[in-house]
Amino acid sequence: MITISHINAKNAYKSLEERINKFPQGAPPSETLYKILNVLFTEKEASLVAQLPIKPFRVKTAAKIWSVSESEAYKILDNLAKKALLLDIEDKKGKKYIMPPPMAGFFEFAMMRTRQDIDQKLLAELYYQYMNVEEDFIKDLFYSTETKLGRTFVQEEVLTNDDEVTILDYERATHIIEEASHIGISMCYCRHRMEHVGKACDAPMDICMTFNNVANSLINNKFARRVDASECKELLHQAYENNLVQCGENVRDGVTFICNCCGCCCEALVAAKRFGNLHPVQTTSFIPNIKHESCVNCGKCIKACPIDAISKVKENDKTYIKIDEDRCLGCGVCVRNCFKNSIMLRKRSEKIITPANSVHRSVLMAIEKGQLQNLIFDNGALTSHRAMGAILSAILDLEPSKRMLANEQLKSTYLDKLLSVKIRH
C-alpha cells in the first residue's frame, strides 16, 4: 500500500495546487481554493494526483511514478475516475487517463449530478466565494490569455438564408451534436451551484452537454446519461426557447462540451456583464443589426439580452435601441425575442480565428501565459513521441510571431532547428 510520509495535509494540497497550475487553465492559490480541494480530494488523493503528468498517461506510467504495482495503480486511478477527478479515456491501446483542468473540468463535474459522498452545499458555497466574490480565478480563467477557452455558438433558428450560406460547420452546435461519437447530458453545474446558495434561476437544469471521449467517461462513471443526437438537438431547441446562450469548447474539431448558459448563474456571462467589452469567451462571427424604421422600442431585446449589451438611449429628443457591439457575443437571443423582426444578424467585419483542436488551443494559451515549457518538459510525463509530436506540430503550424515566442520560452536547440527548417520552406 502507498503511504504518505513526512507530508502534512497543507503540503499535499499545496502540491496539488502547483500541479493544477502547470496547465494554462489553472486555479490561483487562496485559502478558499485549498478548502475546495479538501472537499474534492482526500489528503492521500491530493498527494498522489499532484505527482501525475499533465498530459494523458496510462496505468504503467502512474505505477512507475507512485512506485506501486500496475494493479494497485489501476485501483487508485479507477476510484479517481469514479469521482470524476480523472477522466478515463478508451482508445485502441486500452485505457488512458488525464486530469482535466478545474474549468471546464473537475470543478464542474463535482456538481453535475446529485451526490451523497461529498458536501455539495459546502462546495457550492466555496465555489461562490472563489468565483463570485474573489476575482482572481475568473480573471485568470477568462482574461489571462488572448486565446479563449470557450466560444459562443449562434442560435441557428434565427439565421437567415444569407447567414446559412456563410456559417461554417464547426460554428453550428447542431453539427457538433451530429458528429459526436458519444453524447452525455448532465445537471447544469452553474445553476446547481447557485441553487445551493439560494440564487438559482428557473432555467432548465438537466441540459449540460458533453461529447466524445469526455462524455463516454462521464457516462460510464454515472456523471452523465447517454442520449442520441435527436434527443440532444431537442434539448438544444429547449435551450433556445429559454434564451440560453450556447458556450462550447473553443476548437474546430473534437468539441468536448457545450453549456447552455443563463446570464445570472453562468460565470462566463456574469463576467461579460461585469467586465464589459473584455470578452470572457470568443464571440460568434455574427453581430445583430437593428432596423430602426420598424423598431417600436418595446425593450424586449433589452430584457432578453443575457449580458446587458442592449440599452435604450436618447439623442436629440429621440429614443432608440442601441447594441453595444464591443460587448455583444453575437448569440442571437435578441433576434429571437424581436416580435417585429427588426433585428437581423450580419457578419462581423473582423475574422474570428478558432483553434484547430485542444492541443492547438492549449499550446496557444500556454505560449500566451509563458507556460509552454510545462507542456513539453513535464517531468512526470515520461512523454511519448506521439504526444511530443502533436505539441510540436501545433507549434510549427502557428503564425511566425507565435512560433518565435514559443522558441524564446523554450530556448530549445531542437525546437530552434525545427523552426529554422519550417521558415526556410
Task: Supply 197's cell numbers.
Answer: 446558495
pLDDT for the residue 315: 85
Task: Supply 337's cell numbers.
Answer: 425575442
Has residue 5 got a pLDDT over 50? no
Domain locations in the chain as residue ranges = 9-140, 146-282, 287-344, 358-424
Nearest 5°: CA angle at 145, between 141 and 148? 70
Question: If you average pLDDT over every residue of the chain, what do you get?
Answer: 89
Separation between Cα atoms, residue 34 and residue 367, nearest integer Å: 27
Q: How far is CA 252 from CA 68, 103, 168, 212, 349, in A?
A: 39, 19, 10, 14, 20
pLDDT tens figures, 129-142: 999 999 899 888 88
Segments in 180-226 forming alpha helices (H): 189-196, 212-220
Separation between Cα atoms, residue 226 and residue 216, nearest integer Å: 8
Has residue 154 got a pLDDT over 50? yes
Q: Which of 163, 152, 161 is nearest to 330 (CA)?
A: 152
- The 8-class DSSP code of residue 304 comes to H
pLDDT tens figures, 364-394: 888 888 877 777 766 544 455 566 667 777 7
The angle, 0 to 180 degrees and rounded to 10, between the axes of the packed helices 413-424 and 385-396 is: 50
Q: Which of 186, 275, 266, 273 is nearest to 232 (CA)?
A: 186
Separation between Cα atoms, residue 171 and residue 37, nearest integer Å: 35
286 near 154, Cβ under 8 Å?
yes
pLDDT tens figures, 279-301: 899 999 999 999 999 999 999 99
pLDDT tens figures, 157-209: 999 888 888 899 999 999 999 999 999 999 999 999 999 999 989 999 999 99
Scan for cell 468539441, then name that residue.
255
pLDDT tens figures, 235-284: 999 999 999 999 999 999 999 999 999 999 999 999 999 887 788 999 99
Q: Is 290 helix (H, G, I), strand (E, B) or coil?
A: strand
Task: Supply 416's cell numbers.
Answer: 530552434
Has residue 422 got a pLDDT over 60? no
pLDDT for the residue 311: 94
Classify domain 287-344 at the CATH topology level: Alpha-Beta Plaits (3.30.70)
Among residues of the chain, what percentage have pLDDT more than 90?
A: 68
Confidence (pTM): 0.86
Has residue 397 got a pLDDT over 80? no
Lowest mean pLDDT among 3-7, 118-122, 355-359, 366-370: 3-7
pLDDT for the residue 10: 65
Separation between Cα atoms, residue 87 and residue 81, nearest integer Å: 6
CATH 1.10.10.10 fits 9-140, yes or no: yes
pLDDT for the residue 3: 47
pLDDT for the residue 225: 97
Cis peptide before 239, with omega less than 30 degrees from 0? no
